[in-house]
């Protein structure tokens, strides 16, 4: 904790790391500046909209792919409450806290430093413990290091090594835990039922479980390969040049154009999947299928891109 206090809002440079190698340095000057290393591997681009080049990337606001997982809603409130005696946390400090604990393939570290891993929980504990007390414990332990967006109370939770979940198609290292709140009554059961309908209809969905008392929804990470390697993920806000505040702008036609551009020779298949994704949202009366709830997955920026499984689908 003393290290966090010393680093609070003092971080000006962060190493950006991909599974393919170190990509570059993100710096906070008068603007945000990102530079690729000359030694960056050709497949280590940090974003589909930020190809490797010698020229710097400048932005007054944090670039979309870096701000994509910026905590929102209850999680942001909780982080700010934990740190309020120090002041409002900067974007660079929040990225440092997230480290490798966020959706997608990017990791953030101080130059020459390596992030440590928490021991984690067991899936049995998450499913069978009293949810209110458990979620408070999870937030207290993991909220500061969870790089995940969305207004619903949620956090990323590491699982204990060697304890894969039954009925899971992937070896689980971390899971997403979502909870109900005063502003979100029955939302865990709501999303569980919507995901169940989508799965029964043949859609790709992450593995998911509902706690015994129905108050917690636990989801596997769709941004991980079968061997645990992180996959790249970018939502449609990033790919269409919009920040989180503009996630309700645009249209599904605009999303379709982005899918066509970024999926290339696979666009016909992915456009069909996009149509089906919009159709089931209409059928389920999901009024929250905005730009951040549809995205593309890829192994690296030069690899094929495809629509992510359905996520964050609820009857509103």
| 224-262 pLDDT per residue, tens | 987 888 999 999 999 999 988 899 999 999 999 999 999
Contacts made by residues 166-169, CB under 8 angstroms, sequence distance 24+ = 167/207, 168/207, 168/220, 169/207, 169/220, 169/226
- Cβ-contact 17, 106 below 8 angstroms: yes
Greatest mean pLDDT among 62-76, 94-108, 133-147, 299-313 lies in: 299-313
Q: What residues contact 23, with CB distance under 8 A and at least 6 apart?
A: 16, 17, 36, 37, 40, 44, 45, 46, 106
- Looking at per-residue pLDDT, the higher value among 130 and 166 belongs to 130
Domain locations in the chain as residue ranges: 2-109, 123-220, 232-307
pLDDT at 130 over 70: no
Question: Which pLDDT does position 185 carry in this prediction?
Answer: 85
* Of 298, 294, 300, 297, residue with least CA distance to 312: 294
Kindly report which listed range (57-71, 260-274, 299-313) carries the lowest average pLDDT score: 57-71
Strands (E), 161-307: 174-179, 208-210, 216-220, 232-235, 295-298, 305-307
| pLDDT one-digit tens code per residue, 43-84 | 999 999 999 999 999 999 999 999 988 877 777 777 888 788
Q: How confident is the model at residue 124 (pLDDT cuts 50, 70, 90)?
A: low
Q: Which of 64-78, 126-140, 276-290, 300-314 has the lowest mean pLDDT?
A: 126-140
């Amino acid at each position: 904790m003393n290290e966090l206090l010393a680093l609070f809002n003092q971080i000006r440079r962060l190493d950006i790391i991909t599974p393919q190698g170190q990509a570059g340095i993100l710096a906070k000057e008068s603007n945000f500046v990102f530079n690729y290393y000359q030694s960056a591997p050709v497949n280590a681009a940090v974003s589909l909209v930020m190809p490797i080049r010698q020229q710097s990337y400048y932005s007054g606001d944090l670039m979309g792919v870096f701000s994509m997982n910026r905590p929102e809603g209850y999680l942001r409130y909780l982080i700010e409450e934990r740190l309020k005696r120090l002041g409002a946390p900067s974007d660079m400090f929040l990225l440092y806290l997230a480290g490798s604990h966020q959706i997608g393939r990017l990791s953030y570290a101080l130059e020459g430093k390596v992030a440590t891993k928490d021991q984690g929980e067991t899936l049995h504990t998450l499913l069978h413990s009293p949810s209110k007390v458990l979620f408070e414990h999870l937030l207290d332990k993991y909220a500061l290091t969870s790089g995940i967006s969305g207004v619903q109370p949620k956090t990323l939770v590491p699982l204990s090594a060697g304890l894969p979940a039954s009925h899971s198609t992937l070896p689980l290292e971390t899971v997403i835990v979502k909870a109900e709140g005063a502003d979100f009554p029955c939302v865990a059961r709501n999303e569980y039922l919507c995901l169940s309908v989508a799965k029964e209809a043949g859609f790709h969905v992450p593995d998911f479980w509902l706690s015994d008392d129905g108050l917690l929804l636990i989801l596997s990470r769709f941004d991980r390969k079968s061997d645990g390697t992180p996959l790249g993920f970018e939502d449609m806000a990033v790919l269409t040049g919009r920040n989180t505040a503009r996630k309700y702008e645009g249209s599904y036609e605009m999303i379709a154009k982005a899918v066509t551009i970024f999926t290339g020779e696979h666009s016909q298949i992915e456009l069909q999947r996009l149509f089906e994704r919009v159709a089931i949202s209409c059928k389920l009366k999901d009024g929250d299928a905005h730009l951040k709830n549809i995205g593309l997955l890829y192994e690296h920026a030069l690899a094929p891109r495809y629509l992510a499984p359905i996520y964050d689908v609820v009857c509103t």
